[in-house]
Structure 1
Amino acid sequence: MHPTKRRDIILKAVQEEGKVEINEMSDELKVSAMTIRRDLVQLEEDGKLIRTHGGAVLPKPLITETPFSTKQSRQTEQKKLIAKKTLPLIKAGHTIILDSGTTTLELARLLVTRDDITVITNDIKIAAELSDSQLKVFVTGGELQNNIGALYGPQTHQFLKNIHVDMFFLGAHALDLKAGITSPTFEKSLMKQLMIEAAEATWLVADSSKFEQKAFSKVCDFDHLSGFITDENVSDEVKEQLFHYINII
C-alpha cells in the first residue's frame, strides 16, 4: 500500500474515533508498528494530528479564559470531591494560598468552619465565601478581572513577592503531559508562578476534563508540583506517567 493511502486511512480513523492506537493500526494495515509510527510523525508534521504515548489524537484548539458563571456549572461533583480529598492536607497553623477558580472555591467552602489557618487569595469570590468565617484572610489586591473574579497586576505581584506560605493550591486551565500546566494569558501564568515561588509545597487541584488541553502560556511542568488531586476519570496511562514526578490522590 502506498504511504499516502495508508496515512489517509489512519487520518480517517482518528477523525472518526478521536484517537488511534499504533498496535491496532499495525494489525489492521498489516505493516510494522515502526511504519505506523513514521506515518504518525509525518501526519503530526503536517498538523493533522498529535502523537501520544502509543498512538495519536486529533489536535485540539488552545482553550481561552472561561467566565466564572460557565465554569461554575461544569464538573461540579468532581470539584466537590477533589476539595474533600484536599482538606486533610491543611493542618492547624498552616498559611495557604488558594488560587482563583471554582475548584479552589469548593475548598474554601469546606474551610469556613475552621479557625486555625491563614488563607491568602487573589479571588474575590473565595474571599467573600470566607468573610463570615473565623479564619485570618488576606486578599492580594490588584485590578479585578471582570466576569472572572480574579485580581491581577503589579500590586498583586508585589504582594506575592513578599510572602512565604506552607502550601499553595493551584487551579488549572489546561493540562497536558508534554506541555505541562498552561494558562490563557502571560499574566495568569506569572501570577501562578509567583504563588508557586512563595510556597513550600504546591498541590494541583483540577478535574480530569482539563487533561489533553493546552492554553497559550506555560505555568510550569508537573515536576514542579508536590502533588496532584483529581477525579477517578484520569486515564491509567496519565497516572502512570505522572507517578514518576508527583504524588497523586
Structure 2
Amino acid sequence: MLPVARRRWLETKVQDEGQIDIDAISELLKVSPMTIRRDLKELESNNKVIRTHGGAISPYSLTQEVPYSSKENKNVQLKKEIAQKALSLIQENSTIILDSGTTTFELAKLIKNLDALTIITNDIKIANELLYSKHNVIVIGGEMQNDIGALFGSAAEQMLNMIHADFLFLGAHAIKLEEGISAPTFGKSQIKKLMINAAATTWCLADHSKFDQYSFTKVCKLHELDGIISDNGISESTLTRYKESVDIL
C-alpha cells in the first residue's frame, strides 16, 4: 500500500473506530510501527487524528467542556451517592481541596453541615454553597471560566503552589485506562495537576459515564490517585480492567 493510500486508510479507521493501536495496525498492514507513527504524525499535522501513547484517536471523540447548566441535572442521584461515600473519608479538622464540578458541588452540600474544616476551592458555586457554613473557606484567585464558574490562570496556580492539604476531591471530565485523567483545556489541566501536588491524598469523584473517555489534555495517570469513587453503573468488565490500576469505591 502506498503511503498516501495507507494514510487515507488510517484516517478512515480512526474515524470509524474512534481510536487505533499502533502495534495492532502495524501487524495488520505488515509495516513497521515506526512507519505507522510517521503516518499518524502526518495526519495529526493536518488535524485528522490526535496521537496518544501507543496509538491515535479521532479529534471528534474527545470529551468537550459543557456549560454548568447543561450538566448540573445529569446523573444527579448518582452524584449524590458518590458524594455521600466521599464524605465518609473526611476526617475531623482536615484541610481539603474541592475541585470544580457538579459532583464535588454535591459533596460541598454535605460538608457544609459538618464541624469546621478548612476548604480550598476553585469553584465559585461551591464557595457560595459554603457561604453560611462554619468552615474556613479559601477561594483561589484567578480568571473565571464563563458558563462554568471555575477559576484558573497564573494567580490560581501561584496560590496552589503555596498550600498543603490533607485531601483533594478531584473532578474528572474523562477517565481512560492507559491515558488516565484528562481535561478539556490546558488551563484546567494545570490547575488539577497542582491540586494533586498540594494534597497528601487524592480521590477522584466520577460517575460511570466518565470511564473509557478521553479529553484534550492529560492530568495524571491512574496510579497517581489514591482511588476513584464512582457508582454502580460501571460494568463488571470495566471495573475489573480499571481495578488492576487503581482502587475504586
TM interval, short-chain normalised: 0.7 to 0.9
1:88 corresponds to? 88
Deviation of 1:245 (Å): 3.0
Is the aligned partner of 1:213 residue 2:219?
A: no
Deviation of 1:185 (Å): 0.7
1:30 corresponds to? none
Structure-to-structure mapping, 1:25-64, within 5 angstroms: 61-64=61-64
Letter of the 1:106 partner, please give it.
Answer: E
**2-structure distance, mates of 1:118, 1:211:** 30
CA change 1:41–1:131 in 2 (3 A) is farther
2:88 alignment partner, SS class: helix
Deviation of 1:41 (Å): 10
1:102 corresponds to? 102
2:61 alignment partner, SS class: coil
Structure-to-structure mapping, 1:166-245, within 5 angstroms: 166-245=166-245
Letter of the 2:175 partner, please give it.
Answer: L
Q: Which whole-Å deviations, capped at 9, do the CAs of 1:105-125 have from their partners, x for residues lacking one?
A: 000000111123111000000
**1-structure distance, mates of 2:135, 2:210:** 30
Query: Which runs of 5 or more structure 1 residues have no equivalent in the other structure?
Result: 1-10, 20-34, 48-57
Query: Which runs of 5 or more structure 2 residues have no equivalent in the other structure?
Result: 1-11, 19-23, 41-57
**1-structure distance, mates of 2:186, 2:156:** 14
Q: What TM-score, normalized to structure 1?
A: 0.77
**2-structure distance, mates of 1:149, 1:223:** 29
Q: Is this contact kept in 2: 1:141–1:151, CA < 8 A? A: yes
1:4 corresponds to? none
Deviation of 1:220 (Å): 0.6
**2-structure distance, mates of 1:224, 1:41:** 37
1:123 corresponds to? 123
Q: Which shifted more, 172-181 or 117-126? A: 172-181
**2-structure distance, mates of 1:74, 1:40:** 43
**2-structure distance, mates of 1:96, 1:61:** 33
Deviation of 1:63 (Å): 1.7
2:69 alignment partner, SS class: helix
**1-structure distance, mates of 2:186, 2:155:** 16
CA change 1:241–1:128 in 2 (3 A) is same
Q: What TM-score, normalized to structure 2?
A: 0.77
Q: Which shifted more, 208-217 or 160-169? A: 208-217
Is the aligned partner of 1:113 residue 2:118?
A: no
Larger radius of gyration, structure 1 or 2?
1
